[in-house]
């Protein structure tokens, strides 16, 4: 690892004579950049520095590693914009195309140097074969086939910018429309789905739907046992009957003697489900062997974003966080070898 470098009297630059002959015109080889980028996508810059020294004998400061990781991620992002092997791999995979999106908070530092939590929006395009038909009572125990291919992306940006990112990702993997879209109840998400993919089978994530019911139920029923029984029954009604069943049940509750806060909560819940009435066809999707929960995007938020960008003590400038999200997305999507041209 030790070499004698010579300094040019004119440009004051340092070089090793054999480098030009060997074609080593860059400071770091592609192999080392690939190793540094992958390590940075899993570990903090400090741990990356320690492990790189153990792996390669090359000693770099965490600050230098951070700058290099950002530069490499920028070059990789440009390279991935039109990457034929990744597009071919996605198109060749079996199954129906799904789109899921959500967001998770990341600790950032603003222009004034103050820490603030900002939402990193995450999107996933995946292909999955249909599973076996299931009934509403089997929804928690059934096993869906794993996705045959995944392409994930993430960034801290505005809704309009993220919509454009979704358009670019759709083109990047060669997707026209999608067979299914799952998300929470945010209006902007469904507007994005329509704008980017057009008409598709939309589904309100069952976990978000039940979460809203639980918030209302806790206000109605103080007894834990009564609340649990009510929530289980309402969940089954939602899974088996969709909006008509929920509307019937909540209307019956409204006909009773309720306090002002309780009535307002029930009305709010009914309004919430009415706004998603066309996205509550859970029984049909279960019978078709399709997903009704956004476990795929929840996993992406946890493993793509949380594992690296939400480490203890981490606080990011937004541009660097978005560059790191590029590395994490390629790793999470298992596209690393194709992205770097490794057989």
What pLDDT does 3 receive?
A: 64
Burial 85-113 (b: 16+ CB within 10 A, else e): ebbebbeebebbbbbbbbbbebbbbeeee
pLDDT in tens, the chain (343 residues): 566 767 778 877 766 767 667 666 667 888 899 999 999 999 999 999 999 999 999 899 999 999 999 999 999 999 999 999 999 999 999 999 999 999 999 999 998 989 999 999 999 999 999 999 999 999 989 999 999 999 999 999 999 999 999 999 999 999 999 999 999 988 999 999 999 999 999 999 999 999 999 999 999 999 999 999 999 999 999 999 999 999 999 999 999 999 999 999 999 999 999 999 999 999 999 999 999 998 899 999 999 999 999 998 899 999 999 999 999 999 999 999 999 999 8
The CA-based angle 300-306-310, given to 5 degrees, is 160
Q: What share of the chain is helix, strand, coil (3-state, %, to 5)?
A: 55, 15, 30
Give the model's pLDDT for residue 27.
75
What's the pLDDT at 7?
78
Q: What's the pLDDT tens digit per position in 125-138?
A: 999 999 999 999 99
* Dihedral sign (CA 220, 224, 226, 232): positive
Q: How high is the pLDDT of residue 308? A: 95
DSSP symbols for 6-66? EE-TTT--EE-HHHHHHT--SSS-HHHHHHHHHHHHHS-HHHHHHHHHHHHS----HHHHH
Beta strands 180-183 and 96-109 are: parallel
Tell me, what's the pLDDT at 17? 67
Looking at domain 84-205+293-339, its CATH class is: alpha beta
Residue range(s) of every CATH 3.30.420 domain in the chain: 84-205+293-339
pLDDT at 168: 96
* Residue 169, SS3 per DSSP: helix
Other CB atoms within 10 Å distance of the CB of residue 312: 5
Decide: pTM greater than 0.85.
Answer: yes
Is residue 278 within 8 Å of 242, Cβ to Cβ? Answer: no
DSSP 146: P
Q: What is the pLDDT of residue 20?
A: 66
The partner residues of 180 in beta bridges, in order of sequence, read 98, 201
C-beta of residue 145 within 8 angstroms of C-beta of residue 155:
no
Return the DSSP state at 100.
Answer: E
pLDDT of residue 9: 82
How confident is the model over 265-300, as pLDDT tens digits? Answer: 999 999 999 999 999 999 999 999 999 998 899 999
Residue 269: beta bridge partners?
none
Phi, psi of 329 (to 5 degrees): -65, -40
């Amino acid at each position: 690892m030790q070499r004698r470098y010579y300094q040019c009297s004119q440009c004051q630059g340092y070089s090793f004579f054999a480098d030009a002959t060997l074609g080593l015109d860059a400071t770091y080889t592609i192999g080392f950049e690939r190793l540094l980028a992958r390590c940075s996508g899993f570990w903090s810059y400090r741990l990356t520095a320690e492990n790189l020294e153990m792996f390669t004998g090359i000693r770099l400061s965490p600050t230098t590693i951070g700058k290099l990781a950002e530069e490499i991620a920028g070059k990789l992002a440009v390279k991935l914009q039109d990457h034929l092997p990744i597009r071919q791999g996605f198109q060749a995979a079996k199954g129906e195309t799904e789109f899921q999106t959500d967001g998770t908070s990341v600790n950032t530092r603003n222009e004034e140097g103050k820490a603030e939590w900002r939402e990193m929006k995450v999107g996933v395009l995946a292909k999955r074969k249909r599973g076996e038909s299931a009934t509403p009572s089997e929804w928690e125990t059934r096993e869906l086939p794993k996705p045959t291919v995944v392409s994930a992306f993430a960034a801290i940006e505005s809704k309009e910018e993220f919509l454009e990112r979704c358009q670019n990702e759709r083109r990047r993997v060669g997707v026209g429309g999608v067979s299914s879209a799952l998300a929470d109840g945010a209006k902007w998400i469904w507007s994005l789905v329509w704008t980017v993919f057009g008409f598709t089978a939309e589904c309100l994530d069952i976990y978000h739907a039940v979460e809203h019911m639980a918030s209302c139920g806790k206000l109605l029923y103080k007894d834990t046992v009564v609340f649990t029984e009510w929530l289980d029954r309402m969940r089954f009604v939602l899974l088996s009957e969709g909006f008509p069943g929920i509307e019937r049940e909540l209307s019956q509750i409204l006909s009773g003697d309720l306090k002002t806060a309780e009535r307002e909560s029930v009305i709010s819940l009914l309004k919430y489900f009415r706004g998603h009435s066309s996205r509550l066809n859970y029984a049909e999707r279960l019978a078709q062997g399709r997903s009704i929960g956004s476990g795929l995007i929840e996993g992406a938020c946890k493993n793509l974003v949380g594992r690296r960008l939400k480490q203890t003590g981490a606080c990011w400038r937004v541009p660097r966080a978005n560059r790191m999200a590029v590395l994490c997305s390629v790793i999470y999507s298992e596209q690393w070898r194709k992205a770097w041209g490794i057989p």
